[in-house]
């Protein structure tokens, strides 16, 4: 069995993967049928016994457009919440004083080390690593106090930027929430997300879809590792919500206890992207438990995970996904990409799909299925009744837009209506 290896361990650069011509193999072009894939997906999503999960990435809030206006004769909108790159730009623009100077130093260090200085999660990880080892001295010319002040300033900006509410109940998030409770299930729906926002919580609650997120209580809900590890004892009609990178309403109280609360006081710090937490501090930390839930789900017999809005840029998560899929050939992952399959942003996603036969990757123009890259080709793309926008004809070409969260939400909305009409158990 071949385990997932980072690019630098297999001697292939990101540029080489980004530019590799996927659609050629010995001069012949692979062909994938979007109608066939969609038919299988519809059947799988209509089952009550199969373990089904969704992985919601930072690209999903981009499908919710707000602030419509006219600029230069064109109608433009803004995303409800920026993706990682947009959030990083917003943070850079709002920092000032000492934190701004420290930020510029950190970005320079990350860029000089070959990292991505436009990725706030990578920057936060580096800031916290430096702060943890600086002590009374310095690391790369930075003092612990400067780094801690920058960390706090960044988290405050993130909190402001992602504290948003869905504008109405007709969103892809609500479609997902309604679908999750549309039939009586033998297995719960698992919702994984790397996002810090509370959009999933809002949609689930407004749709009267019960869920469990690992915390128990009301005023200062505490993280209950026992309940997380025994979540199979909870009612299957409760969705499971696992926030892999932390949440706006997670707090570390007095540097000891993790709570979920809408209130924040001076004794609490944010738990946003808590990758810096040491493994030996406690396996009770939510970050580690959430990753364990992802692994446990993918190890379930016949598990099916749909990924949307995630570019596979987090190699730690990729490692958990790919190793679990290799260990459980009966599980399947469908990864939807927003854009073309050969987009350089998706180099790591393509690496995962080319090495893992039960990881299928869907771009608008083509896919990697069973490790075979190819373009979408269908004699009859209208063969299946479906939500508008999932399969589109663009001239002579076919677009399969499962990586568009809006299109995925429309598909789930149609399925929820059909399942309710059928009264399927």
Q: Tens of pLDDT along the chain (425 residues)?
A: 444 444 333 344 444 444 445 655 544 568 999 999 999 999 999 988 999 999 999 999 999 999 999 999 999 999 999 999 999 999 999 999 999 999 999 999 999 999 999 999 889 989 988 998 998 899 999 999 999 999 999 989 999 999 999 999 999 999 999 999 998 999 999 999 999 999 999 999 999 999 999 999 998 999 998 999 999 999 999 999 999 988 999 888 877 788 899 887 766 666 666 554 544 344 346 888 999 999 999 999 999 999 999 999 998 899 999 999 999 999 999 999 999 999 999 999 999 999 999 999 999 999 999 999 999 998 876 776 655 678 888 788 889 999 999 999 999 999 987 555 554 44
pLDDT score for 419: 58
* Helices 172-180 and 199-206, packing angle to 10 deg: 50
Instruction: Using alpha carbons, select from 217, 290, 212, 223 the residue that is nearest to residue 256.
Output: 223
pLDDT score for 18: 45
pLDDT score for 292: 94
pLDDT score for 283: 36
pLDDT score for 333: 98
pLDDT score for 183: 87
pLDDT score for 69: 95
* Alpha-carbon gap, residue 377 to 397, rounded angstroms: 8
Q: Which helix (H) or strand (E) holds 305?
A: strand 304-308
CB count in 10 Å sphere of residue 25: 12
Output the pTM of the full model: 0.89
* Alpha-carbon gap, residue 171 to 93, rounded angstroms: 30
pLDDT digits (tens, 9 = 90+) for 127-171: 988 998 998 899 999 999 999 999 999 989 999 999 999 999 999
Straight-line distance from the first to the last Cα atom of the chain, in angstroms, rounded to the nearest whole number: 38
Phi-psi region of 197 (alpha: psi -120 to 50; beta: other; left: phi over 0): beta
pLDDT score for 282: 41
Instruction: Using alpha carbons, select from 60, 128, 81 the residue that is nearest to residue 307.
Output: 60
- Tokens standing for residue 154: 């960044």
**CB within 8 A of 265, min separation 6: which ones?**
none
């Amino acid at each position: 069995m071949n385990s997932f290896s980072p690019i630098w361990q297999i001697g292939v650069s990101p540029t080489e993967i980004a530019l590799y011509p996927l659609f050629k193999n010995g001069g012949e072009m692979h062909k994938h049928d979007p109608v066939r894939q969609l038919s299988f997906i519809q059947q799988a999503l209509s089952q009550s016994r199969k373990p089904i999960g969704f992985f919601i990435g930072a690209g999903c809030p981009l499908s919710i457009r707000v602030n419509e206006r006219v600029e230069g004769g064109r109608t433009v909108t803004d995303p409800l919440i920026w993706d990682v790159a947009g959030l990083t730009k917003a943070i850079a623009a709002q920092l000032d004083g000492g934190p701004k100077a420290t930020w510029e130093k950190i970005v320079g260090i990350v860029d000089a080390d070959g990292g991505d200085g436009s990725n706030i999660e990578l920057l936060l990880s580096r800031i916290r690593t430096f702060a943890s080892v600086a002590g009374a001295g310095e690391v790369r010319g930075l003092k612990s106090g400067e780094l801690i002040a920058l960390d706090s300033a960044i988290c405050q900006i993130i909190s402001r930027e992602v504290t948003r509410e869905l504008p109405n109940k007709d969103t892809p998030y609500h479609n997902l929430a309604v679908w999750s409770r549309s039939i009586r299930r033998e297995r719960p729906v698992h919702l994984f997300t790397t996002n810090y926002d509370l959009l999933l919580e809002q949609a689930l609650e407004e749709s009267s879809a019960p869920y469990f997120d690992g915390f128990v209580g009301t005023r200062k809900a505490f993280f209950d590792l026992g309940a997380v590890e025994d979540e199979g004892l909870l009612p299957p009609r409760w969705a499971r919500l696992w926030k892999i990178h932390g949440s706006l309403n997670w707090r570390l109280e007095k540097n000891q206890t993790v709570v979920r609360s809408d209130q924040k006081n001076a004794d609490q710090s944010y738990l946003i992207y808590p990758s810096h937490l040491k493994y030996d501090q406690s396996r009770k930390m939510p970050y580690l438990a959430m990753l364990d839930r992802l692994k446990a789900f993918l190890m379930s017999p016949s598990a099916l995970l749909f990924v949307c809005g995630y570019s596979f840029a987090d190699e730690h998560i990729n490692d958990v996904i790919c190793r679990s899929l290799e260990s459980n050939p009966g599980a399947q992952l469908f990864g939807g990409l927003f854009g073309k399959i050969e987009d350089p942003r998706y180099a790591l996603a393509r690496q995962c799909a080319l090495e893992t036969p039960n990881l299928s990757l869907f771009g608008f123009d083509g896919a990697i299925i069973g490790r075979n890259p190819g373009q979408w080709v269908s004699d009859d793309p209208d063969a299946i009744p479906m939500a508008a926008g999932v399969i589109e004809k663009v001239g002579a070409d076919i677009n399969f837009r499962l990586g568009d969260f809006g299109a995925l939400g429309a598909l789930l909305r149609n399925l929820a209506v059909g399942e309710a009409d059928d009264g399927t158990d």
